[in-house]
């Protein structure tokens, strides 16, 4: 994943290089009424971290769903609160992730019975986007950062659907990323899109997130924090 991240960053810098080389003053305001964002990234919870297991013994998550990360999709809407050098936005997001796996017999062998874990992560976010980079310098790479309050609704279905459990776990998180202003690449299409749909700017986002979701350290909560940093990418539409 880190290689992908480095490659993506280099690609973004390569696209931005021409802009850095010349003085641009035709940047427009990125901020409007707010923004809408679609993100996707790969997630694996730290549920197994609460168990002290002998080496080579998988925890419940790993034995049910394996070690691979699962794709999580998120939608996020935000309203602009303040505009200065950048834009401060208050927003809310909702996501979805589903992991399907197989239950195990008492001897540890894998059965045909299915078990699943569904996650609906909700968030309340404050995002600050340093728009001046685009608006004043004309560089189409806009850095941004955000802090979030998180609430993960989850559902577990047992083997053969015979048992199930659900709950909610709260937490907080932060993220930081770069938004590539796509208007820079094709201004004519951007203006047409604005006329047709009211979308003033379209941005490709690349973000690093860290979430701590364990009911703020509660002893009676499992840890739904992402195992490590989560790299996401997506599209942001500014209205």
User: One symbol per residue from 111 to 150: x for binding other proteins (CB under 8 A), - otherwise; what is it?
Assistant: xxx-xxx------x-x----------------------x-
Q: Is residue 51 within the footprint of other proteins (CB under 8 A)?
A: yes
Report the residue from 169, 209, 226, 232 that binds other proteins according to the rule CB under 8 A. Answer: 169
Query: Rounded distance, CA 180 to CA 9, Å?
Result: 10
Q: Are 104 and 146 in contact (CB under 8 A)?
A: no
Q: Is residue 221 within the footprint of other proteins (CB under 8 A)?
A: yes
Q: Is residue 61 within the footprint of other proteins (CB under 8 A)?
A: yes
Report the residue from 14, 21, 55, 165 that binds other proteins according to the rule CB under 8 A. Answer: 165
Q: Is residue 151 within the footprint of other proteins (CB under 8 A)?
A: yes
Token digits of residue 230: 């989560």
Residue span binding other proteins (CB under 8 A) among the ranges 5-13, 15-23, 100-108, 230-238:
100-108
- Write down the least CB distance from residue 21 to other proteins, Å: 39
Query: Rounded distance, CA 104 to CA 153, Å?
Result: 25
Q: Is residue 65 within the footprint of other proteins (CB under 8 A)?
A: yes
Q: Is residue 218 within the footprint of other proteins (CB under 8 A)?
A: yes
At a CB cut-off of 8 Å and minimum separation 6, what does 58 contact?
A: 48
Report the residue from 101, 121, 173, 175 that binds other proteins according to the rule CB under 8 A. Answer: 101
Backbone angles phi, psi at 226, to 5 degrees: -70, 140
Residue where the block lists tokens 């009676």: 220
Q: Which residues in this chain contact other proteins in the complex, by CB under 8 A?
A: 47, 50-51, 60-61, 63-65, 81-82, 90, 101, 103-106, 111-113, 115-117, 124, 126, 149, 151, 156-160, 162-170, 215-216, 218-222
């Amino acid at each position: 994943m880190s290689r992908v991240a480095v490659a993506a960053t280099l690609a973004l810098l390569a696209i931005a290089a021409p802009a850095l080389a010349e003085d641009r003053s035709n940047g427009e305001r990125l901020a409007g009424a707010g923004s809408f964002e679609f993100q996707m990234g790969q997630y694996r919870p730290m549920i197994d971290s609460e168990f002290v297991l002998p080496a080579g013994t998988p925890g419940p998550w790993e034995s049910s769903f394996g070690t691979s990360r699962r794709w999580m999709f998120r939608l996020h809407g935000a309203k602009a609160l303040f505009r200065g050098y950048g834009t401060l936005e208050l927003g809310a997001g909702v996501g979805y992730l589903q992991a399907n796996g197989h239950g195990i017999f008492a001897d540890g062998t894998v059965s045909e019975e299915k078990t699943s874990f569904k996650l609906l992560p909700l968030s309340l976010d404050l995002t600050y986007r340093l728009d001046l980079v685009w608006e004043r310098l004309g560089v189409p790479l806009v850095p941004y950062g955000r802090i979030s309050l998180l609430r993960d609704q989850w559902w577990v279905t047992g083997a053969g659907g015979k048992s199930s459990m659900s709950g909610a776990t709260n937490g907080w998180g932060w993220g930081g990323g770069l938004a590539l202003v796509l208007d820079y690449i094709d201004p004519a299409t951007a203006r047409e899109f604005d006329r047709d749909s009211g979308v003033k700017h379209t941005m490709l986002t690349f973000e690093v997130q860290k979430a701590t979701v364990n009911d703020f350290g509660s002893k009676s909560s499992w840890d739904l924090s992402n195992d490590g940093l989560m790299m996401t990418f997506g599209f942001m539409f500014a209205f």
